[in-house]
């Protein structure tokens, strides 16, 4: 995650989905920002500017969230701190440590220390789950061993996955294969966008539900897909 991505169209889908899960979840929600340095991107905020579908059906998906993000972007206050201060995901805990490639192990030790009871942890890496060619010195990814460790500790998990050079169905299939390999005891599903108009979200999500809350989370994701223009595999 980067501060200058805050409020873009992926954020709208992301917080909409997380809020839906949070409302059905009885335990803690921990947002692990995996915060990295800003870049020159993060401009995909045109959905807030009055295009017809977005100002009607799009905004109506979650008008409170839509207006809060519009206020943040309009005030040129794009940062994860602004998200926390706006009451988005109210009641969640936010793990704010910046992800440094030279102290990655320390980053996760601190995260596990803050997540001692079974929680729903949202990982927000820049690009998502790492491919086999990625190296730990890169800060854009969540690595499979880190995902597996979260599951081993009894947590349910949501992972942000940026759209790669493949169709959404292939991305969803790859994410499910990774889940089956590393956390076979978790219930896995993927969610990806099917918005009818640009700017369209470019984010998918991997949900890994564990323990007694698994059915509650899965049912919440299915209900979300009935309300929002997304697909679930």
What separation in angstroms does the CA of 159 have from each of 6, 47, 94, 178, 221?
Answer: 17, 23, 15, 12, 14
The percentage of residues in the chain with a pLDDT greater than 90, rounded to a whole number, is 66
* CATH number for 159: 3.40.50
The model's pTM: 0.94
Question: What mean pLDDT is predicted for residues 106-116?
Answer: 95
**What is the number of other CB atoms lying within 10 angstroms of the CB of residue 63?**
10
| Number of structural domains found in the chain | 1
Residue 56 lies in a domain: no
**Element housing 63 (H / E):** helix 63-74
Residue 196 lies in a domain: yes
Residue 181 lies in a domain: yes
Residue 4 lies in a domain: no
**What is the number of other CB atoms lying within 10 angstroms of the CB of residue 89?**
20
Q: Report whether 156 contacts 211 (CB < 8 A).
A: yes
Residue 131 lies in a domain: yes
Residue 78 lies in a domain: no
pLDDT in tens, 151-210: 999 999 999 998 876 788 888 889 999 999 999 999 999 999 999 887 788 899 999 999
Residue 7 lies in a domain: no
pLDDT in tens, 28-78: 999 999 988 887 666 788 899 867 788 889 999 999 999 999 999 999 888
Query: Residue 138's domain spans which residues?
Result: 15-37+88-232
Residue 73 lies in a domain: no
Question: What mean pLDDT is predicted for residues 99-122?
Answer: 93
């Amino acid at each position: 995650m980067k501060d200058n991505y805050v409020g873009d169209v992926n954020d709208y889908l992301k917080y909409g989905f997380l809020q839906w899960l949070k409302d059905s979840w009885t335990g803690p929600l921990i947002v692990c920002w995996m915060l990295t340095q800003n870049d020159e991107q993060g401009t995909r905020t045109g959905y807030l500017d009055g295009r017809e579908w977005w100002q009607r059906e799009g905004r109506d998906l979650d008008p409170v969230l839509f207006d809060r993000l519009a206020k943040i972007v309009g005030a040129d206050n794009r940062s994860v701190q602004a998200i926390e201060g706006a009451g988005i995901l109210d009641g969640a805990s936010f793990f704010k440590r910046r992800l440094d490639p030279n102290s990655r192990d320390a980053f996760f030790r601190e995260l596990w220390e803050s997540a001692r009871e079974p929680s729903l942890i949202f990982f927000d890496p820049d690009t998502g789950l790492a491919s086999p060619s990625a190296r730990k010195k890169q800060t854009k990814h969540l690595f499979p061993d880190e995902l597996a460790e979260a599951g081993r500790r009894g947590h349910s998990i949501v992972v942000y996955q940026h759209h790669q050079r493949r169709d959404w169905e292939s991305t969803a299939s790859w994410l499910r294969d990774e889940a089956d390999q590393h956390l076979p005891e978790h219930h896995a599903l993927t969610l990806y966008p099917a918005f009818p108009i640009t700017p369209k979200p470019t984010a998918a999500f991997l949900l890994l539900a564990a323990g007694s809350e698994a059915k509650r989370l899965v049912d919440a994701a299915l209900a979300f897909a009935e309300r929002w223009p997304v697909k679930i595999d």
